[in-house]
Structure 1
């Protein structure tokens, strides 16, 4: 059948009337193909959009890592800003994304890869689109060259540790001292395997190699710079995907904190925002993962020129901070996971905190939480969209909320 694409969905799939989902198409394009269920199989583009471009990566058709390489950068930027605007409109919040910051190609400093043994050795890469097949990506335009350089070493680890039917899972991150590697879904390490793995890690110049939960090699601390502090997050811990994306999120957060003396950082992780904020304010960092807070605390103690930072291990979904705990706080940073932070936002909405800087990786839950704050008297300021997952439908953003603090009785 023939049909015309009306729009893109949140996952980047093109949608025609029906709805019919069409992978790899763009709004306004006429497409043709067989339809099975609600999806067009092997669509043919009859009338291409002016926004269609040749994918910059040779793996674009097979790899599932990037789904929007067929669209121009300008189209993707407009679409991602539109995703945020649409989410806010759905919640009745009057605001628009002011700008977008896009990370450059080959800048991803962390990634999750899979390894599969073959008859001749092993392959390491991303999964194919809607497939369990592992696709090699030797010409990847997404990953930082430092990550690309260690793929042959990951292949050797796959041969050593993966089962013939299973897959090894790699979480890799660029650090100041080499690449940090966490390996999962592999056989336990015995003494001979530990020796082989340690040799591989040394040969590749890895900063750290963790095999399941066992540290195999630690040539140098797996440091990240958060402001003035060098921090070694735990293996596999959350890290903003690109340095450029991290800075694009950090800058408006710090702008929002201007003049604040006491700051609370919720979902603080290993200190992405806490430690830069501590250059001008005292910070209380709250996070559910104690090992991440331990890394944050160590980084703070070893840094120079920072104000006091305290930490608290706390599940903010089950035990959000209550309004009276914000009594003398000038500003709050909150960077929740994709589910948002509805329970914590409800308590924040009851508080007198004058400034809230919110970072989000999900426009839908951000808009829901923004509605609660606006309904409690907060004003939503400018919104910056950050695209550090280039060529994917993933959208991040940062925004500030302000409310005059009531005058207290003398």
Structure 2
């Protein structure tokens, strides 16, 4: 065992000593005693703690892999997450202004994927331990909304009904306006008896909807999501912002950036998180690769009240981005790509005449790469708004405005 000085925090949340050597659950400035194993420090003991070290608010923190950073103060984490974005931009030669970070409160996560496994006595459900297939039960989780945490027995019942002894289920549970929306993967193949048992389980647990792999077993009530007053029923397992608080902040920023535009294109529109609220003031064209998501968005618009026209298009924007002549019909664009970013679509936006872009991102690295392209094409970037809706994790989201200079 030797002593090591932690010099910085990596983008995945591990402390880093010279080498680099990685030490989980440590903070910059700390002296630790540890055993070196390759590029990892094992059996870490804190010799000199950081002034930013705090007692984790959740008793499951050390065993559960759901959170990485509960040992750091909220103020430190807020500064660190902004610095993660700033570092990514600096690597692309970009200096940026930042708005104050917005952090979702504890116990506000409205969706989670539980790991559930059969046991000799029944079943267990929770999150995996870090870098392990061991399931840790989390009855006092401080991350999940209380209504979502109370759904663990649903995951356990599903494991009893349809999991093998060798493999765990992935049970994605989302809070909706009409109850729990549940989608399961990794279970036994469906047959008649299993279908019947799952339908009875949906009734017994008062589920809004239950899907098994790609098949909907039961829809007792439409699992509606409310996008600023517009009700949408997403397809099973569709993307949804992690917290209502975070979604609201991102939406408000997007509406502010695009304010005054009469025609807006929403790229990677999902089921309408931004497109439908924007339709309160502007005509919107929504583009998304998944036809089922587009169908859900369209149904939400048709049943909405007081909305301007919303058209939609199922289109793979990685292979077939909107071209400059198509983009020329709009006065603003919203783009919310997956972690890989939107390199092909950004290239076409750079060549278009579109004057305003609201860029929402879940990856500082791909955002910085795309921002460099936009700035080189003559756009100017407004303050970056970092939104932390994955509290106590290394995950960072943001939204920023780009205007033609």
Q: Could you tell me which residue of structure 2 aligns to residue 217 of structure 1?
A: 218
Measured after TM superposition, the shift of residue 146 of structure 1 is 1.4
Contact 2:118–2:164 (CA under 8 A) maintained in structure 1: yes
Hey, what's the Cα distance between the residues in 2 that align with 1:93 and 1:399? 13
Deviations 1:25-48 (A, max 9, x none): 000000011010011101000011
User: What does residue 257 of structure 2 align with?
Assistant: 256
Distance in 2 between residues matched to 1:338 and 1:269, nearest whole Å: 14
Q: Counterpart in 2 of 1:91?
A: 92
| Residue 50 (structure 2) aligns with | 49
Q: Residue 114 of structure 2 contacts residue 155 of structure 2 at CA under 8 Å; is this kept in 1? A: no
C-alpha distance in 2, partners of 1:106/1:245? Answer: 13
Counterpart Cα distance in 2 of 1:332 and 1:107: 29
Q: Deviations over 1:260-318 (max 9, x none)?
A: 00000000000000000000000000000000000000000000100000001111111
Alignment match, 1:102: 103
Q: How does 1:151-300 map to 2 (within 5 A)?
A: 151-300=152-301
**Aligned partners of 1:207 and 1:218 also within 8 Å:** yes
How much has 1:195 moved relative to structure 2? Answer: 2.6
Q: Offset of 1:202 from its aligned partner?
A: 1.9
Query: Which residue number in structure 2 is paired with residue 387 of structure 1?
Result: 388
SS in 2 for 1:171: strand
Q: Deviations over 1:146-197 (max 9, x none)?
A: 1111211210110110111011111110000001000111112333322322
CA contact (8 A) 1:107 1:144 kept: yes
Q: Name stretches of at least 5 consecutive residues in structure 1 with no aligned partner.
A: 405-410
Aligned residue for 1:194, secondary structure, equals helix
In the other structure, the counterpart of 2:136 is 135
SS at match of 2:100: strand
Q: Tell me which residue corresponds to 2:348.
A: 347
After superposition, the C-alpha distances for 1:327-361 in whole angstroms (9 at most, x for unaligned) are 12100000000000011101101111110000000
The 2-side partners of 1:271 and 1:47 are apart by 49
- Name the counterpart of 1:10: 11
Aligned to 2:357: 356
Report the RMSD for the aligned CA atoms in angstroms.
Answer: 0.9
- 8 A Cα contact 1:179 1:207, kept in partner: yes
Could you say what secondary structure the match of 2:245 adopts? Answer: helix
Shift in Å at residue 96 of structure 1? 3.1
Q: Deviations over 1:10-69 (max 9, x none)?
A: 000000111110000000000011010011101000011111011111110011100000
Shift of 1:113: 1.4
**1:338 & 1:192 partners in 2: Cα distance?**
40
For structure 2, the 5+ residue unaligned runs are none
Give the match's secondary structure for 1:10.
coil
SS of 2:101's partner is strand
Moved more, 366-375 or 130-139: 130-139
Q: Is the partner of 1:97 in helix, strand or coil?
A: coil
Aligned match of 2:34:
33
SS at match of 1:153: helix
TM-score by length of 2: 0.98
1:121 aligns with 122
Q: Give the match for residue 111 of structure 1.
A: 112
Q: Distance in 2 between matches of 1:213 and 1:347?
A: 34
Q: Is the contact between residue 228 and residue 275 of structure 1 (CA under 8 Å) also seen in structure 2?
A: no
Look up the match of 1:407.
none
Quick one: distance in 1 between partners of 2:309 and 2:174? Answer: 29
Contact persistence 2:97–2:382 (CA under 8 A): no
What corresponds to 1:408 in structure 2? none
1:80 maps to 81
Q: TM-score, normalised by structure 1?
A: 0.97
> Which string of whole-angstrom CA distances, capped at 9 and with x for unpartnered residues, describes residues 351-400 of structure 1?
11110000000001000000000001000001110000000000000000
Alignment partner, residue 335 of structure 2: 334
